[in-house]
Amino acid sequence: MCEMNKRNLFIVAGLLTSFAAGAQAGLYTLASVPEALKAKATVVTHLEEVKYEIESLDKTTYSVHKIFTVVNDEGKDALFFNEYSSKSVSLEDAEIRVFDGNGKQTARYRKKDMTTVATGEGLIEDGYVTYYRITPPSYPITVELNYELRIKSTLNVRDYRFIHPKESILSSTYTAKVPVEISLKYKPVNTTIQPIITDEGKYKLYKWRVKDLAPLEYEEGAVSPRSRYPHIALSVDQFSHYGYKGDLSSWKSFGAWINNLYTGLDELPADRQQFFVNLVKDVPDQREKIRKIYKYMQQNFRYVSIQLGIGGHKPFSATFTDQKKYGDCKALSNYMKAALKTVGIQSHVAMINAEFNQEPVDPDFPSNNFNHAILCVPGQKDSIWLECTSNTAEFGVLGNFTENRNALLITENGGVLVPTPKSHASSNVFTTRTTVSLSDDLSGISETLIQASGEYRETLDNILKEKKDRQKEAIVFYWGFKQPDEFILTKEGETATLKMAFSKIPEFNAGDKLFINPRMNKLWSSRLPKSENRKLDYYFRYPFEVRDTTIYKLPAGSKPDVLLKEKELKCDYASFNSKAWYNEQENAVYVATALILEQYKIPASDYAAVKKFFDDIKQEDAQKLVVKKGEAPKKAF
């Protein structure tokens, strides 16, 4: 009987061992993954365990253990490991193990096998990136990743971001271990999951878990990934960064912490103060004084990315920036503030999350989600906002990079969260008037007068600085002009002039019929992404007005045979109209067109109608004017 029991025990033990080995092997292959989680997935995460521990305000640990399979080449970005380190962030260790489609380990890499490079733009370096790219011999390929970061700060608590586009999740957990005297803030974004909170002596444990999540479909043109996908936003009320303790329980207290970093750095030496006083002494209007100082800064200073000074939060002094004639967004905004201060004008540096498709920071969740600094000059009616890193931005116009946001003004009384100006179509206007002289041999020359404002003006100014081959690319692919054989682009005052020569103006001809594009430049040439099953709002880069008048001066004897019918298209967010007519006295065909997009953010529910609107414009743009070619006048002998 004892022998029988021993044998049974061995059998049971063997079965358990076999079961455990099988379960373990299942983490490294797709064999046991449900079909619903494999379908449409380019990456399958079998297991993810994220642990974040706060030992004190100046000492935290963040560790990741993750096993995932890259299904095909479309998911290859997941095979690139990279982590940032600096004076406050240390990558303690990292290990990558690679498995083939059968779950057999084929490679192993440690931190010493990876590449570490300094970040920055060459002038001043601050921090490093350690990276390794896995080259797959075939797919599927499974990766097991382990790494740990030691962080001497609690200013930025990493969010729990558990899913990315075309990634399915079998199991993922995030555990935060926090001393009871430190308050951890959290907020579900695009999800409803809540943590299980337990007490563990001097610590509180917060644990989130998700499992069996099907992949999310990627939607082109949606809000930035930071705001798009389900995640848990995390922060703490009390924090320390480079030994500077602060309070994130309110925007006011966080702004007070930043203000302390800036205190005393907006002072210029006496001779430079006098310089600015003299610069605007004959300018009676305050707005014009600000404009003149802003123009001086644009003409004499340049932007460089410098992430120094309390982990990238403290700017260089105005005196240092004045001497070097360069700075990052913080330094240049602080310098402009100092220059205005010398002539008695108060202003405030403003922190902001920049990029055209960013959502405003959450007013109800104070945290450090800013990546840029600008300047605000408060006024009785309207404030003046200044982008201090651009040499070409219009005065008082922020542009799509920082419009439509919430900015944190840094004042002597703390932070104040305020909205930045909203985008308007009338701020981004591109107007062209093109005169085309068509010759008997079908060649021609054109002259286009260009006036631009807002984003279009900044682009125009940048194109003018480029070499001729790059200018040609912009003329054809960005502005949509017919490709010229020769061209000259110049600008005088507010008007640019583009002169072009063409060996053939008509797109094609049949007998004595010439088929000519209605305009020399396409008002809209992009193809919007599909509208079927759209769930997310669509973001244009900015609202705009594009207006064009094209005049075709016909050779003697030639007459229009078919003019385009007047066309008007509308949707709730945009309008288009085009009209053609013949001026017999000039023997010229005129085509006047206008395209206006009133709103840059299109709700998902309305996107299909907007896409159809722009598709219809592309069809209208494909229409042709038909000109009947006359006989060339005979030369007299």
Contact (Cβ atoms closer than 8 angstroms) between residue 145 and residue 100: no
Q: Given phi > 0 = left and psi -120 to 50 = alpha, else beta, which region is 442?
A: left
Four-point Cα dihedral 210, 214, 220, 222, nearest 10 = -30
Burial 277-300 (b: 16+ CB within 10 A, else e): eebbeeeeebeebbbbbbebbbee
Identify the pLDDT of residue 627: 94
The domain 250-422: what is its CATH number? 3.10.620.30
| Residue found under tokens 């006359």 | 630
State the pLDDT at residue 537. 95
Give the start-to-end residue ranges of the domains of the chain.
26-237, 250-422, 426-628
The token duo for 250 is 């309110």
What pairing do the DSSP bridges indicate for beta strands 588-597 and 574-583?
Answer: antiparallel
Q: What is the pLDDT of residue 621?
A: 87
Res 24: pLDDT: 56
Angle between helices 270-279 and 286-300 (to 10 degrees): 120
Going by DSSP bridges, is the β-strand pair 544-553/559-562 parallel, antiparallel, or unpaired? unpaired
User: What pLDDT is stored for residue 632 in this prediction?
Assistant: 58
pLDDT digits (tens, 9 = 90+) for 109-148: 999 999 999 875 433 336 889 999 999 999 999 999 999 9
CA pair distance 22, 38, nearest whole angstrom: 20
In Å, how far from its chain's centre is CA 229?
Answer: 16
**What amino acid is encoded at 369 in this protein?**
N
Structure tokens at 527: 């193809």
Strand blocks (E) in 503-543: 508-510, 513-516, 538-539
pLDDT of residue 7: 46
Q: Where are the beta strands (DSSP E) in 249-338?
A: 302-303, 326-327
pLDDT of residue 292: 97
Q: What Å distances lie between residue 553 and 136, 238, 273, CA to CA?
A: 60, 72, 58
Q: What is the number of other CB atoms lying within 10 angstroms of the CB of residue 584?
A: 8
Three-state DSSP at 186 gives strand
> How far is Cα 413 from Cα 257, in angstroms, rounded to an integer?
10
pTM over 0.75: yes
Q: How far apart are CA 430 and CA 240, in angstroms?
A: 48
- Tell me, yes or no, if the two domains 250-422 and 426-628 fold the same way: no
For 180-221, strand residue ranges (E) read: 184-189, 196-200, 203-213
Predicted confidence (pLDDT) per residue in 338-385, tens digit:
999 999 999 999 999 998 888 999 999 999 999 899 999 998 888 999
What tokens does 262 get? Answer: 């800036």
The gap between the terminal CA atoms of the chain, to the nearest Å, is 130
Nearest by Cα to 590 from 635, 554, 542 = 554
The torsion angles phi and psi of 599, rounded to 5 degrees, stand at -135, 135
Apex CA 506: angle with CA 500 and CA 510, to 5°?
Answer: 160
Q: Angle at the Cα of 275 (from 270 to 278), degrees rounded to 5? A: 125
pLDDT at 126: 67
Determine the CATH number of domain 26-237.
2.60.40.3140
Cβ neighbours, 10 Å, residue 76? 17
Q: Which helix (H) or strand (E) holds 337?
A: helix 329-342
Could you report the average pLDDT of every consecutive run of 10 residues in the chain (637 residues)?
Answer: 46 40 70 93 97 97 98 96 90 96 96 87 60 96 97 95 94 98 96 96 97 93 89 96 94 97 96 97 94 97 73 87 93 97 97 91 94 92 93 90 95 96 94 96 96 93 94 95 96 96 94 93 92 94 96 95 94 97 96 97 97 94 90 55
Q: What span, in angstroms and rounded, lies between the C-alpha atoms of 593 and 580?
A: 9
The whole-number pLDDT of residue 307 equals 58
Domain 426-628: which CATH number of 1.10.10.10, 3.40.50.300, 2.60.120.1130, 3.20.20.120: 2.60.120.1130
